[in-house]
Structure 1
Amino acid sequence: MTRRASPGAGARVEAMLERLALRVLPSPLRTRLAPVGRRLRGVLSGEADEARAQRMALVVFATRIFGAALAYVMQVLLARLMGGHEYGIYAVVWTFVVVLGIFTPLGFSSSVLRFIPEYRATGDEDRLTALLAGSRAAGGLAATLVALVGIAVVHLSGDLIASYYVLPLVLGAVCLPMFTIGSIQDGIARAHDWTLLAMLPTFIWRPLAILVGMIGAVMWGAPATATSACLVTIVATWGVTLVQGLVVARKLARLRGDAPRRRPARESFAFGIWLRLSLPILFVEGFFQLITSADVVMVSFFLPPDQVAIYFAASKTPALAHFVYFAVRSATAHRFSRLHHAGEGQELARLVDAAARWTFWPTLALCGVLALVGPFLLSLFGPGFLSGYPVIPVLLVGVLARAAVGPVDALLTMADQQSACARVYMAAFVLNVALNLALIPLFGILGAAVATASAMVFEAGALACQARRRLGVDPLVWRGSGDGGAV
């Protein structure tokens, strides 16, 4: 069941904008802007899939803008507080948590977008209740097992892992289970169009809690080390996820209304069906994350923590342009699924074309800005970080390549082509690792950037080919036609 936007809210916003235009804008300018106003009216009040997707994209976009700025500020302040060496250690540990946190949900963080609308549409409340409970339980258990194995590996590794990484890695493992459950809860919220509930905990409340907690800990006398930052991250992650879980439970109870809550029968836990769809999605998302995160880990194999810190800061700067892609992906993924499975091919093609445009042009503008202000942004991290600037334009090439095809990975996944998507990501990951191994020893952090950007360009081209061949739509932004880009 998809919640509709309130027409009253849209009408109020529209009336407010009209009054503002009458007071501020001269008459000739109001006339020229009238088509834009009609377009905005359609986005605010329309109930068509494209209008609803645009509304959701605007909310997600605004949240990701603020979240990206907050995360960047957090990284700057952590680097300033901790210094390059300790910040580099924390960057490696957090990268491990993020990468493993993509695999440990077992694909449920995205597959719930496929199953929840289906079960709500068919009225299968038992299967829905089982999915809501079983997905989080399975992800939490998988994350706990991975964390225990990781702790064992760290302790048994001896001198293979530098001593300054040991305790922070163990603390990162403690953070993993709740990080995983939070990812699945994000998917549950998105499947119900609870956009802010899906976005705020991950992109606003958790980084804000880490930032405030770390500053508070240092003010109270704690050492500004990677270990302290990991302890603060554990408290922030567990606290935010638990609060989000309570809010999700309350909203789900409201959807049930007066219907009594029943314990689903054992046969309602269709893990076989769920995993057949979830596991290919797991590999899609896992290899996607590996493509953009493996470089940080591999830099830590060859270079000291202070160089890792410089590369991490430089790689996070192009990532500021990436949030456009993620915003559009969040807004359109479950709509791709519904349109594809409803057989509405023309509507699907139009949405694919629109999603590519929504992704590419704002990303292009942001890339231009970041290329100009990159030196200033890196200087905020502290002395020595400016040496990482050459990494930024190289990585921006990869960001633009991915933006040029829009959220085509979500299209393939939601259209039951997740296996083909996973194969593309696996190939891109292998290419990324091979290039990193070859280029980092020769060119240092610049070699890591070239390797990652090359893998992203390959990934974008291969996914576009899969979409054309398997679904008959061309996601490339400059090839979309006026009727939606159908081939």
Structure 2
Amino acid sequence: MRFSAATTAGRFLPQRWALRMRPLLGRIDAVLFTADERGEAGRMSLIAFSIRIVSAFIAFVSQVLMARWMGSFEYGISVLVWVTMVIVGNLACLGFHTSVIRFIPEYRERGMLAELRGIVLASRLFVLVASTLIAGLGALGVWLASDWIENYYVIPFILGVICLPMIALGDLLQGLARANSWALLALSPTYLVRPVLILAFLALMLALHYVPDAKTAIFASIAATYVTTLGQLMAVTSRMEKKVPAGPMKVHFGQWILVSLPIFLVESFFFLLTNADVLMVGAYLDPNDVAVYFATVKTLALVHFVYFAVKAGVAQRYAQFTHGEPDKLAAFARETVSWTFWPSLLMALLVLVLGEPMLVLFGPEFTAGYPLLFLLVLGVVARAAVGPCESLLTMSGNQNICAAVYAMTLALNIGLNVLLIPLFGLWGAAIATSVAMVFEASALSFTVWRKLGIVMAIFVPAKKEVA
């Protein structure tokens, strides 16, 4: 049976949604199913895309319900805490959640099973220990700085750090599954299971007459995160044991950490860049503004998920082609630009049309974020227009310069936020984010061209020579 975006979406979405999205999904089939349509990367990207569709729907519905249940003030507090925990949890992997995607295919192709066993075990232990230490230091830091933090944030942040080890381990398990092209096992726990469980646990607690505030929401998040990650750990471990026979183990921790740390910088700068606006709004404005801005950003998730879905599917293939197949790498990389841009553009137009009625679902006050969508969407489309450049640089051994690009972009973003938010409020955050994303896309595309001779830009013809 042919595996297509249209049929996959039809399984997960209501019929009227599937019918409305048929033109978009047909376009996705056209760009994904080329002569190599049954290739590993195409299948994984398509599965990731389908999961992202369902995830965006689940995330939107859950955030609407949480905003309605808690009110904008408490919702804003819980949002800021959760976003911070997700960022720090991802950073606590110190790059291992991405470096395993580079090493595991290499070890498997070269028959280096001892090294393969080593990195699977060592990465888990390292991430669990590192994230636990960071969680402890984080809780201590919040307690020591409590006199300088708004009192309504102190307890939620101390509670939130309990999630950190499981968030970090979940990100690593996602990397291990992606390295083996287990798309459903990689993405469904984080993007489907966890948000559904958070909503279910929160609804249960409210039914048991818990106070509908940020602390209750964080308790629900803690329970959901532990259940999801432990379940994913058991599933990944079982599949790895079946795929890799027992035997001797070699640990090259020095080599792995040298590769992982630059990747850590890339991922941290990227993750901070993606969420810096929410954090900066939380630093300068009150929780009500955080709630409005976050709801607006969540509405943009319908555009973002195309880029992230393609990125999730192509990293392993980039790593494979990097080893002695430059022509295939260039052709495939150029193709992935189309995979990201055209669906993202169509989804951007859809979001601009439906944005206001979507935001009003959160509450009447949330429609204040609708005008921001027109500005924010420009940055998202600009990023999509150059494809997953950072994955291409990271998988080809150019993670250091990629980290430098993200450092400059993050500095620009934070600097603009510091300058513009006090002057223009939420508009300042939107301007800073859009400018930073356009700069990021331009700088990454230029870097790929200079380093690899590959033109990653949707409307720029390919050139083979490197300037």
TM-score by shorter chain over 0.5: yes
- Residue 358 of structure 2 aligns with an amino acid whose one-letter code is L
CA–CA distance in 1 between the matches of 2:344 and 2:320?
A: 27
Partner of 2:398: 417
Structure 2, unpaired ranges of 5+ = 8-25
Tell me which of 74, 84, 88 is aligned to 1:100: 88
- Residue 148 of structure 1 aligns with an amino acid whose one-letter code is G
> After superposition, where does 1:32-431 map in structure 2 within 5 Å?
43=33, 48=36, 51-256=39-244, 259=245, 261-262=246-247, 264=249, 268-341=250-323, 343-431=324-412
Q: Deviations over 1:430-469 (max 9, x none)?
A: 0001000000001001100110111111000000110000
CA–CA distance in 1 between the matches of 2:367 and 2:33?
A: 42
CA–CA distance in 1 between the matches of 2:448 and 2:290?
A: 36
Tell whether the 8 Å contact from 2:31 to 2:339 is kept in structure 1 after alignment: no
CA–CA distance in 2 between the matches of 1:247 and 1:316?
A: 29
CA–CA distance in 2 between the matches of 1:387 and 1:41?
A: 36
- Residue 226 of structure 2 aligns with an amino acid whose one-letter code is W
Q: CA deviation at 1:42?
A: 9.8
- Residue 322 of structure 1 aligns with an amino acid whose one-letter code is H
Q: What TM-score do the two structures reach when normalised by structure 2? A: 0.92
- Residue 159 of structure 1 aligns with an amino acid whose one-letter code is D
CA–CA distance in 2 between the matches of 1:404 and 1:346?
A: 21
- Residue 285 of structure 1 aligns with an amino acid whose one-letter code is E
Tell whether the 8 Å contact from 1:43 to 1:55 is kept in structure 2 after alignment: no
Tell whether the 8 Å contact from 2:177 to 2:183 is kept in structure 1 after alignment: yes
CA–CA distance in 2 between the matches of 1:289 and 1:457?
A: 16
Q: Helix, strand or coil for the counterpart of 1:137?
A: helix
Tell whether the 8 Å contact from 1:324 to 1:363 is kept in structure 2 after alignment: yes
Bigger Rg, structure 1 or 2: 1
How many residue pairs match? The answer is 444
Tell whether the 8 Å contact from 1:59 to 1:195 is kept in structure 2 after alignment: yes
Tell whether the 8 Å contact from 2:146 to 2:154 is kept in structure 1 after alignment: no
CA–CA distance in 1 between the matches of 2:128 and 2:32?
A: 42
Q: CA deviation at 1:478?
A: 1.0
Partner of 2:436: 455
Q: CA deviation at 1:40?
A: 7.3
Q: Deviations over 1:84-104 (max 9, x none)?
A: 010000011011112112210
- Residue 371 of structure 1 aligns with an amino acid whose one-letter code is L
Partner of 1:31: none
Of residues 49-58 and 185-194 in structure 1, the stretch that sits farther from structure 2 once superposed is 49-58
Tell whether the 8 Å contact from 1:86 to 1:225 is kept in structure 2 after alignment: yes
Q: CA deviation at 1:480?
A: 4.0
Tell me which of 434, 439, 451 is aligned to 2:415: 434
CA–CA distance in 2 between the matches of 1:41 and 1:236?
A: 36
Q: 1:98 to 1:424 in 2, by over 3 A?
A: same
Q: Deviations over 1:231-270 (max 9, x none)?
A: 11011011110011111111112113xx4x2463xxx221
Tell whether the 8 Å contact from 1:378 to 1:386 is kept in structure 2 after alignment: yes
- Residue 378 of structure 2 aligns with an amino acid whose one-letter code is V
Q: Deviations over 1:344-378 (max 9, x none)?
A: 12111111111000100000000011011111111
Percent identity reads 42
Q: CA deviation at 1:59?
A: 1.1
Tell whether the 8 Å contact from 1:315 to 1:391 is kept in structure 2 after alignment: no
Q: CA deviation at 1:486?
A: 4.1
Q: CA deviation at 1:158?
A: 3.1
Q: What TM-score do the two structures reach when normalised by structure 1? A: 0.88
CA–CA distance in 1 between the matches of 2:92 and 2:372?
A: 30
Superposition RMSD in Å = 2.0
